[in-house]
């Protein structure tokens, strides 16, 4: 009887040891991001979103992952969810022009031209004012909006609304006095 109990105990321990060896470590958020980017290259945006959701479970406030998930959601027509990702980017880093650009583009496509125009102006102010000393203060990697598209869309909205383009000196640069940097843990 003792030997059979001993045998069962040994088998149980061996079984647990085998399970531990075969259990794969959870992928890092950066590994999941890399997988998502490969899926994006194949235009498999929905599958990329699934990978990015997993990555955000590991690091929920990663601006880079939010950026890619926002654009993937945009690609599959989930504009409200994409807007939420871009908005969270701006909450995490008030100087995130990529987040502002995503929000502006969605508003533009939704016909909310005045709101989109405000974001385009903000992007121009921020990117025109960013310097290396401010960049060093940012915790996340910097992903900036593509200024050529910002100006193109800004001009298009101004033309549509019949608004004259603001002179450069009216675009007050962002400074530490008129920008509150908000971080979310």
The pTM of the full predicted model, rounded to 2 decimals, is 0.67
Q: What are 101-129's pLDDT values in tens digits?
A: 999 999 999 999 889 888 988 888 887 65
Greatest CA separation found in the chain?
94
Fold of 26-170: 1.25.40
Q: Where are the domains of the chain?
A: 26-170
Q: What are 69-110's pLDDT values in tens digits?
A: 999 999 999 999 999 999 999 999 988 889 999 999 999 999
- Burial letters 18-56, b for 16+ CB under 10 A, else e: eeeeeeeeeeebeebbebbeebbeeeebebbbbbbebbb
Q: CA of 170: how far to CAs of 122, 160, 175, in Å?
A: 12, 21, 14
Closest to 28 (Cα-Cα) out of 4, 57, 5: 57
5-19, 23-37, 60-74, 145-159: range with highest mean pLDDT: 60-74
| Mean of all residue pLDDT scores within the chain | 75
The separation between CA 45 and the C-alpha centre of its own chain, rounded to angstroms, equals 15
Handedness of CA 39, 40, 46, 48 (dihedral sign): positive
């Amino acid at each position: 009887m003792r030997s059979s109990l001993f045998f069962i105990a040994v088998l149980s321990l061996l079984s647990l040891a085998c399970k531990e060896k075969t259990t794969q470590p959870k992928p890092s958020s950066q590994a999941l991001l890399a997988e998502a980017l490969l899926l994006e290259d194949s235009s498999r945006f929905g599958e990329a979103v699934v990978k990015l959701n997993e990555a955000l479970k590991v690091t929920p406030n990663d601006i880079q992952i939010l950026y890619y998930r926002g654009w993937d959601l945009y690609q599959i027509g989930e504009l409200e969810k994409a807007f939420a990702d871009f908005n969270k980017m701006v909450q995490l880093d008030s100087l995130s022009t990529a987040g502002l650009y995503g929000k502006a583009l969605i508003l533009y496509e939704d016909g909310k031209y005045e709101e989109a125009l405000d974001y385009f102006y903000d992007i121009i102010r921020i990117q025109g004012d960013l310097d290396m000393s401010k960049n060093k203060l940012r915790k996340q990697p910097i992903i900036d909006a593509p200024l050529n598209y910002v100006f193109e869309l800004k001009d298009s909205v101004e033309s549509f609304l019949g608004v004259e383009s603001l002179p450069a000196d009216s675009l007050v640069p962002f400074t530490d006095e008129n920008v509150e940097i908000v971080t979310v843990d």
